Amino acid sequence: MAAGVMAPAGAVENRSGSCQAQALRELERLSPQGFAVYRAIGDKKFFTNWISCNRAQLDLTTAVHESVHHLSASKNGYYLIDGRVLPRPPGLARLAPPRLIASNFRNDTYVQTYLRPGAATSAADLTYLLDELNAYTHDLNVAVNLVSLSKPSDGSISNRDGLGALMSFVMKYADTAKQSNPATWSALKSPGTRQAVRTLWEQAEKVLASSCGIPRFGVNDRHYISFICNSANGDALREILGRSAQCPRSCLGTTSASR
């Protein structure tokens, strides 16, 4: 098309629809678990609205991430990678607000978005901090599946950062509860809540470890992964899991992690 000539609206819409259809085909081919999220969501347009024509890999991970939130809300449970729905433990909203741990981390975009007062609901309610942990697990899982779609021009992308951040927040939340909030700590050790945290954490561990061999998959991921790997931070979570949290040490290598 000649420079300066605007494409008709119908042509733009057709081109957008065509590349969205192609992106969905790639998702189905490379990430059946990610495509299952598309199949499960009733509002298909909600999913496809996240997909543009120039960065299919990043847009598909975002579409899955946001659609997992949508599914979890509609099902009143955490929609897992294997398609099961994990019931949300009752009473999480009454526990100590996650914003209390914000000062333990440097004030980056994840802290500002998920822990600072007045930001996302995850700052006030553990229910939604766990919801973000689950969504970022799906996000990174799809990114790993779609790595063949990445281009050198993409540079370093922050796929690993989000999951590392949310895992660190959950670990610190448990540690802070054990040290200074007996009521919240007792609730975290109750059977239903313990099982929910354990299930979401184990799912996250597997996905994070699966990403370690992929270069340029993080920007500040090493900062959060180092926090997870520091055994001094994991005493409380160890009691909840019944074991030590796994350290994805290979993610700290110079070829797979950033600063």
163-203 pLDDT, tens per residue? 999 999 999 999 999 999 999 999 999 999 999 999 999 99
The answer to whether position 64 is within a domain reads no
The answer to whether position 151 is within a domain reads yes
Residue range(s) defining the domain that contains residue 217: 83-252
pTM of the complete model: 0.91
User: Poorest-confidence range of 22-31, 60-69, 93-102, 213-222?
Assistant: 213-222
Q: What are phi and psi of 118, to 5 degrees?
A: 85, 0
The answer to whether position 199 is within a domain reads yes
The answer to whether position 194 is within a domain reads yes
Higher-confidence residue: 117 or 256?
A: 117
The secondary structure of residue 119, as a DSSP letter, is S
Do the beta carbons of residue 129 and residue 122 sit within 8 Å? yes
The answer to whether position 52 is within a domain reads no
Domains held by the chain: number: 1
Do the beta carbons of residue 157 and residue 147 sit within 8 Å? no
52 falls in which pLDDT band (50, 70, 90)? confident
Beta strands at 85-87 and 77-79: parallel, antiparallel or unpaired: antiparallel
SS3 165: helix
